[in-house]
Amino acid sequence: MKDSLSVAAIQMVSAASLARNLADAGALIAQAAEAGAQLVALPEYFCFMGKKETDKLVLAETEGNGPIQEFLSETARRHNIWLSSGSIPLVTPDPGRVFNTQLIYNPAGEQIARYDKVHLFSFARGQESYDESRSILAGDVVKRVDTPAINLGLSICYDLRFPEFYRALGVVDLILVPSAFTYTTGKAHWETLLRARAIENQCYVLAPAQGGVHENGRRTWGHTMLIDPWGEVLSVLPEQAGVVSGTIEASRLLEVRQSLPSLSHRVL
């Protein structure tokens, strides 16, 4: 990567209105770009949090077409930034399910990478119950993106619980973890898992999240954060919409990897 890169993660409390979510995301991205961010990352399903799991099927787009992707491309181009979509719904061969997809755009507004979420979340405790497999089709490819600015590892939310997934990325400068962690699981494990992924992979982690009470009654944990390769939390936003920003330093990556060269000690 270059010597340094200014990054920002967007935290949202997305609603059931696509137009409202795009407007809110656009304003927050503009805020981040005006403050100097060169790479901006949105949270999981920034574009839509419906009343029920299957609502997202109506918004599913084919790759390269649709208002959500047009918004992302035009926004990256207008602000001259690298932009992560967080995740959006794309069509699958199964008409009853979508892919939960992260797209990466370059400053020219060109889509340069796609990652379909591999691990699908399910959880049940008391009245709280989720099963993503009912409306989402899992991807099957680990994805990294090597750009002139930075080498990225792509992941989405529940992937965070599977360290072997991140090992398969190889050595990267920054891992993106757009998420919509539930309040219950986020309070228990979010920060611990994010810091562990940064420490064991000796890279920065940028985790844009949904954070608050949504129209559908769901409460997401939030705590969007940027973590350095030593596991130190550099910036965090507990709840509500906003921007978390910071700088990724090549010198910090080198310092951590030279002082504790665990990546070169791997035997498996």
Q: Which of 47, 56, 143, 157 is flagged as catalytic?
A: 157
pLDDT at 50: 86
pLDDT of residue 55: 85
> Is residue 83 included in any domain, yes or no?
yes
Q: CA 78, 79, 85: angle at the middle one, nearest 5?
A: 90
Taking alpha carbons only, the member of 206, 119, 104 closest to residue 157 is: 119
Question: What pLDDT is stored for residue 254 in this prediction?
Answer: 97
Q: Quote the domain boundaries for residue 242.
A: 4-260
Average pLDDT per consecutive 10 residues, the chain (268 residues; last block may be shorter):
95 97 98 98 96 87 98 98 98 96 98 97 71 92 95 98 97 98 96 98 98 94 98 98 98 97 91
Does residue 104 lie within any of the structural domains?
A: yes
Assigned domain for 209 exists: yes
**Catalytic residue status for 51:** no
Question: Given this model, what pLDDT does residue 166 score?
Answer: 98
Residue 44 known to be catalytic:
yes
Is 37 inside a domain boundary?
yes
> pTM of the entire structure?
0.96
- Per-residue pLDDT at 53: 78
From the candidates 44, 61, 132, 239, which is the catalytic residue?
A: 44
In a domain, 92, yes or no: yes
CA proximity to 229, closest of 198, 265, 260: 198
- Look up residue 204 and give its two tokens: 């920065």
In a domain, 189, yes or no: yes
Decide if 110 is catalytic.
no
Q: Give the CA angle between residues 74, 77, 83 to the nearest 5°.
A: 90
pLDDT of residue 128: 64
Catalytic pick from 47, 56, 117, 143? Answer: 117
Radius of gyration of the chain (CA): 17
Instruction: Examine residue 265 and state whether it is found in any structural domain, yes or no.
Output: no
CA distance 90 to 56: 9
Say how many domains are in the chain: 1
d(CA 87, CA 107): 18
The domain that contains 74 carries what CATH number? 3.60.110.10
Residue 266 belongs to some domain of the structure: no
